[in-house]
Amino acid sequence: MTIERNPGFDLNLDWLESIQVNKSAIERRAASLGTRRSVKKQHQTAWLLKAITLIDLTTLAGDDTELRVKRLCAKAKNPIRHDLVAALGIEDMHLTTGAVCVYHDMLSTAAKALEGTDIHLAAVSTGFPAGLTPLHLKLEEIKESVKAGADEIDIVITRKHVFAENWQALYDEVKAYRQACGEAHMKTILATGEISTLRNVAKASMVCMLAGADFIKTSTGKESVNATLPVSLAMIRQIREFYVRTGYKVGYKPAGGISKAKDALVYLSMMKEELGDDWLQADLFRFGASSLLGDIERQLEHQVSGHYSAAHRHAIA
Amino acid sequence: MTTINIKDIFNNMDYGKAPESPAPALEWLAQQNNKMSHFIGGDWHAGKDHFDSTNPATGECLAKVAQADENTVNLAVKAAQKALPKWQALSGHERGEYLYAIARLIQKNTRLFAVLETLDNGKPIRESRDIDVPLAIRHFYHHAGWAQLIESELPNHQAIGVVGQIIPWNFPLLMLAWKVAPALATGNTIVIKPAEFTSLTALLFAEICQQAGLPKGVLNVVTGDGSTGQHIVQHPEIKKIAFTGSTAVGRWIRQATAGSGKKLSLELGGKSAFIVCADADLDAAVEGVVDAIWFNQGQVCCAGSRLLVQEAVAERFHKKLIDRMHKLRIGDPLDKSIDMGAIIDPRQQQKIATLVQAGVDAGASLNQSTADLPKVGCFYPPTLLTDVSPSDQVVQDEIFGPVLVSMTFRTPSEAVALANNSRYGLAASIWSENINMAMHLTPLVQAGIVWINCTNMMDAAAGFGGVKESGFGREGGKEGLYEYLQLKTNSANQTKAPAAKQPAKIIEPVPGMDKTPKMYIGGKQVRPDGGYSYPILNNKGQLITHAGLGNRKDVRNAVEAAANSPTWAQMNAYQRQQVMYFMAENLSYRKAEFAERLVASGHSKKQAETEVQTSIQRLSYYAAWCDKYDGQIHSVPLRGVAMAMHEPIGVIAIQCPDEAPLLSFISLLAPALAMGNRVVMTASTAFPLAALDFYQVLNTSDVPAGTVNILSGNQAELTKPLAGHMNVDAMWSFGADAELVEHESATNLKRTWTHSNRKDWLNANQGQGVEFLRQATQVKNIWTPYGE
């Protein structure tokens, strides 16, 4: 499946004005997502394998080193223990994670480590996580990262524009980032834990899509509240709205806080129910996660062996 | 597991099956040899005749269920009577402990209850597991608390006795809990009949009660069809009937119990409006529709089955809704990933199909899920009918299936007009992000429950029940307890006031009394339509004057005047209070005149003066109440509020008694007015003058025309047209024929308040009180979740 890239559109304030989000209703829907759908046995196995291919395996810590990032890339290339792959009979699928996501400084190491694979390389950018560095530096940062081998750029929006409801400023900023990205795909991080209300989240989502986002993403992972189901619903319903209005499909990336295989299944069924099967593929859906993979592996071993597994039996990233 | 399968699934990302095992429930049925008994007096009674209880999803017989005949019902009532004294002698705390034990035991068997319910009813296991059973448990916990608190919180109230309860098949266990928990908490004993399609969880519940050590005979479960229900309804020792089911059966029960003195609560059909304003969160409202009409296959009395969408967003909303409808999964109710299960019975399925076809034939556009339905079992796809109008049968009739009809509106007032254009009035759901809009529509829609930006929310702490032909009475909340209680004065402390002496014959006219009192309709004095008058005598038989002999046309005119006069209901409580104080003041100016009238009718001077003075006090008493009979905020488990608002009933017809002709008239008029009702009063036949004279007070007190209408004549002749009038919302009758009033009230299921005992109107304990206000109001529960 190839997705035609969102070219971006003029800022349409009418569309923004028509956005309504009822928090309680969204929470009720979020609460019933996991109880309305249940995926069991080999279906669960297949869904968990799918989830692996959607992971942006991430390290974004001040103490990251080249050797640490190499280890992460090794895990991205071989996300499942060899004997489990054999037992599942999926050697020929050559499953990997969807991407590796690092700071700019680690790009060259990661690019080398991922050479010859289909794994995307994402860099967080634009003064991540706060995004309050000067604009021209942020634009330079994007260009540098693209040059260094990133084919995906995760930018952060300037939150104060949301609080001021200065949608024009937000639009202009994101549009400039998109131009700086060039061929690289742009994920726009809204920092949903900071912009707080679902109404803000929904409106910022729409502005970013109009400005040319390829993905909208919840969080930096550094806020105290990261991806949640209600926030996800508020965002993906805007993706649906954008698709209905423009015909372009924009991707979604919840980041931070998704660490259990069970949660991943709920997210997948949410995407399937609210947006459709196209949004179950890596070009339209990613998990920004670091510990999720380990839990999925434990579940896969359980499916294969019938016994509950332990974390130390699976390679760390 | 096959590898090909995993790769296929990886590519198509299907859900697969996630079946809940029926084994434990089937095992429980096998333990009963798949042949169920009645539960009477704490023991199991094998029935003589049996019928099949089938699984609607497969058509297979789950068990044979016993058919109770009259003897069986008699046995159950006897057992309940026998258990009554000891059960009532228990302290509230002790009764509460039994309720608590029942709650705990259901909790210990949640999955068994859920699976058995789904097998028997066909509803998705998700619903029985996550909604029906937890809400039933919640009901017992909540009422365990009430058992303990009733004594202090509802003093002067006592249990009714043996109550008969007849419940429907759509929420078998939950409806049982709604009926049984408050009845037990208040100290009644029970004969309950589950619906014939779904008797099984009631019998499992009986087993739970045995385990809980509930005293024998406190709860009796008899199974059977409608004929069993009839025996319960007609049993003379059953003092109260609580029924949930169709409006047709409810109407029959009203007629069958007319004049029996049985207390009645009816929770009947609905065609509830689901109003989507242009500024609503449309995606949220779409999910609301799913929970409204595609919940329990639409077999929900309060289902939001009439969609009203504001024109500006109608097209967008319909598109979203149709997309969502196609995502619904229909099939094996035991599959945990199923949204809609089986329809209860092939006859119901046929009824749905016939109604939908009639809608299509009448021009409706059919939008229906194209999902594959199972080959066996009883299924019907989610359906949306657009291009319908209020004149279509599918818009008017309750379909009781997964069928939504949709109309559009232009303005808030048109939304209200469409919403209220129904015989029913159970619930309404309002979607708007504008608090002004939502709170504006809320009091205007005629419904017992209003859900703002939510739907089908229920909890033990909030009352559930309707207005209009959706029945009367509330289940849940403090308001629900009254359905199982009576005032202690009703039975023991009722003093019988002396009967008013009826004059025998005309002897001679009293000189100087040539004033001819007219009737009072729409703020004007009017002569009777028939052109006849009748003589009014004093207690010595002397002719005082003549009064108009009202007939059914006068009734028609008076009701029309009341119904078409909205002003009084729109005034705020403070304004009504001012008018009522003004009435008291104006009556006191005319003290002497009214006393004279009473003397002319035969009162002593002292009696007459006392009665007038008490009447003035009573007007003030209810004027005081105008702005003080507050509703409640219920503590439901929700970030939000559930407001129980007291609303006027509408048009109340009041038949005044003979005794204390001025005071009784005032004592009934004033509470009705204080709460914002409009009234049609029929004056005492023998002593109408005080009532007829009262128009002078009304005229000088700024009471809007049509608020109070006063008829005179032969009450016996006015009763039938009034009680049967479909625009009268309630009828209070004192001394008139209770049976006739209750029987005729079935036309539109108006609320009735009938009295066989005379009241001593001068006695404040009998002649006034909060009970009068309760009768003059109905509770609207308004659910408003909030959060930003």
Domain ranges of chain A: 13-313
User: Closest-CA residue in chain B for A274?
Assistant: B324
What CATH code would you report for B503-641+648-779? 3.40.605.10
In the beta sheet, which residues pair with residue A145? none
In this structure, whether the domain defined by A13-313 belongs to CATH 3.30.70.360 is answered with no
- What is the per-residue pLDDT for B758? 82
Q: List chain A residues with pLDDT less than 70.
A: 1
CB-based contact B788 A41, cutoff 8 Å = no
DSSP state at residue A70: H
Count of other CB atoms within 10 angstroms of residue A287: 28
Please name which of B392, B384, B393 lies closest in space to residue B274, comparing C-alpha atoms.
Answer: B384
Contact yes or no for B628/B671 (Cβ under 8 A) = no
> Which residues on chain B are in Cβ contact (under 8 Å) with A41?
1, 16
What is the sign of the dihedral through the CA atoms of B219, B225, B229 and B230? Answer: negative
User: CATH class for domain B273-295+306-457?
Assistant: alpha beta
Q: Which two tokens stand for residue B559?
A: 């009701």
Closest-CA distance of chain B to residue A105, Å: 35
Q: Is A207 helix (H, G, I), strand (E, B) or coil?
A: helix
In the beta sheet, which residues pair with residue B82? none
* From-to residues of CATH 3.40.605.10 in chain B: 24-267+480-488, 503-641+648-779
How far, in Å, CA of B450 to CA of B465, rounded? 11
Max Cα distance, chain B (Å): 110
**CB-nearest partner of A35 from B17, B130, B640:** B130
Contacts of B145 (CB under 8 A, 6+ apart): B96
Helix axes B573-589, B605-625, angle to 10 degrees: 170
Pairing of the two strands A215-217 and A185-189: parallel
Interchain CB contacts (distance < 8 Å): A and B: 108
Q: List chain B residues with pLDDT less than 50.
A: 1, 491-499
CB-based contact B16 A42, cutoff 8 Å = yes
Closest-CA distance of chain A to residue B165, Å: 33
Count of other CB atoms within 10 angstroms of residue B333: 31
Determine phi and psi for B13, rounding to 5 degrees. 50, 45
Please name which of B489, B493, B477, B487 lies closest in space to residue B159, comparing C-alpha atoms.
Answer: B487
Half-sphere exposure of B259 (CA within 13 A, CB side): 11
Question: Looking at chain A from residue 294 to 313, which residues have their Cβ under 8 Å from any Cβ of chain B?
Answer: 303
Contact yes or no for B47/B223 (Cβ under 8 A) = yes
> Which residues on chain B are in Cβ contact (under 8 Å) with A46?
5-10, 13
Which of the following is catalytic: A138, A249, A253, A283? A253
Count of other CB atoms within 10 angstroms of residue B126: 23
Please name which of B177, B162, B179, B161 lies closest in space to residue B244, comparing C-alpha atoms.
Answer: B179
Active site residue A154: yes
Q: Which two tokens stand for residue B528?
A: 């009777």
Closest-CA distance of chain A to residue B457, Å: 11
How far, in Å, CA of B774 to CA of B188, rounded? 22
> Which residues on chain A are in Cβ contact (under 8 Å) with B7?
46, 90, 93
> Which residues on chain B are in Cβ contact (under 8 Å) with A34?
none
Give the Å distances, CA to CA, from B757 to B32, B238, B490.
Answer: 49, 20, 9
Please name which of B206, B221, B216 lies closest in space to residue B102, comparing C-alpha atoms.
Answer: B206
Please name which of B364, B281, B377, B286 lies closest in space to residue B325, comparing C-alpha atoms.
Answer: B286
**CB-nearest partner of A29 from B280, B287, B787:** B287
In the beta sheet, which residues pair with residue B545? B536
How far, in Å, CA of A291 to CA of A289, rounded? 6
Which of the following is catalytic: A56, A75, A77, A154? A154
Closest-CA distance of chain B to residue A108, Å: 33
Determine phi and psi for B165, rounding to 5 degrees. -130, 130
Please name which of B517, B494, B503 lies closest in space to residue B597, comparing C-alpha atoms.
Answer: B517
Q: Which two tokens stand for residue B258?
A: 């007319």
> Which residues on chain B are in Cβ contact (under 8 Å) with A93?
7, 10
Contact yes or no for A237/A250 (Cβ under 8 A) = no
Using the Cβ of A40 and the Cβ atoms of chain B, whether some distance falls under 8 Å is answered with yes
* Residue B756 CA, distance from chain mean position: 23
In the beta sheet, which residues pair with residue B543? B509, B537
How far, in Å, CA of A75 to CA of A88, rounded? 18
* From-to residues of CATH 3.40.309.10 in chain B: 273-295+306-457
Q: Side chain identity at B123, as an amino acid letter?
A: K
Q: Which residues of A186-207 are buried (b: 16+ CB within 10 A; e: fewer)?
A: bbbbbbbbbbeebbbbbbbbbb
- What is the per-residue pLDDT for B539? 77
ipTM above 0.90, yes or no: yes
The CA-based angle B679-B680-B684, given to 5 degrees, is 120
Please name which of B651, B700, B657, B649 lies closest in space to residue B682, comparing C-alpha atoms.
Answer: B657
- What is the per-residue pLDDT for A186? 98
Chain B residues touching chain A at CB-CB below 8 Å: 1-3, 5-10, 12-18, 126, 130, 279-285, 287-288, 327, 336-337, 339, 433, 453-454, 639-640, 785-788
Contact yes or no for A115/A76 (Cβ under 8 A) = no
CB-based contact B281 A20, cutoff 8 Å = yes
- What is the per-residue pLDDT for B757? 80
How far, in Å, CA of B777 to CA of B770, rounded? 11
Q: Is A262 helix (H, G, I), strand (E, B) or coil?
A: helix
In the beta sheet, which residues pair with residue B524? B521
CB-based contact B6 A49, cutoff 8 Å = yes
How far, in Å, CA of B230 to CA of B370, rounded? 42
Q: Is B101 helix (H, G, I), strand (E, B) or coil?
A: helix
- What is the per-residue pLDDT for B498? 46
> Which residues on chain A are in Cβ contact (under 8 Å) with B285?
25
> Which residues on chain A are in Cβ contact (under 8 Å) with B325?
none
User: Closest-CA residue in chain B for A53?
Assistant: B10
- What is the per-residue pLDDT for B494? 44
Please name which of B234, B238, B301, B242 lies closest in space to residue B266, comparing C-alpha atoms.
Answer: B242
Determine phi and psi for B187, rounding to 5 degrees. 95, 20
Closest-CA distance of chain B to residue A165, Å: 16
Q: Where are the beta strands (DSSP E) in A87-221?
A: 99-102, 120-124, 152-156, 185-189, 215-217
* Residue A122 CA, distance from chain mean position: 10
How far, in Å, CA of B223 to CA of B241, rounded? 16
**CB-nearest partner of B18 from A21, A40, A49:** A40
Per DSSP, the residues of chain A read --PPPP------HHHHHT----HHHHHHHHHHHHHH----HHHHHHHHHHHHHTEEEE---TT--HHHHHHHHHHHHS-S-HHHHHHHT-GGG----SEEEE-GGGHHHHHHHTTTS--EEEEE-SSTTT--S-HHHHHHHHHHHHHTT-SEEEEE--HHHHHTT-HHHHHHHHHHHHHHHTTSEEEEE--HHHH-SHHHHHHHHHHHHHTT-SEEE---S-SSS---HHHHHHHHHHHHHHHHHHS---EEE-BSS---HHHHHHHHHHHHHHT-GGGGSTTTB-EEESSHHHHHHHHHHHHHHSS---GGGS---
> How many residues make up chain B in this entry?
788
CB-based contact A21 B2, cutoff 8 Å = no
- Type and span of the H or E element at B91: none
Helix axes B715-724, B738-745, angle to 10 degrees: 20
CB-based contact A25 B453, cutoff 8 Å = yes
Contact yes or no for B433/B284 (Cβ under 8 A) = no
Using the Cβ of A94 and the Cβ atoms of chain B, whether some distance falls under 8 Å is answered with no
User: CATH class for domain B24-267+480-488?
Assistant: alpha beta
Q: Which residues of B694-723 are buried (b: 16+ CB within 10 A; e: fewer)?
A: bbbbbeebebbbbbbbbbbbebebbbbbbb
Please name which of B429, B396, B405 lies closest in space to residue B321, comparing C-alpha atoms.
Answer: B405
How far, in Å, CA of A309 to CA of B468, rounded? 61
Closest-CA distance of chain B to residue A164, Å: 17
Active site residue B301: yes
Count of other CB atoms within 10 angstroms of residue B479: 24
Closest-CA distance of chain A to residue B9, Å: 6
CB-based contact B13 A23, cutoff 8 Å = no
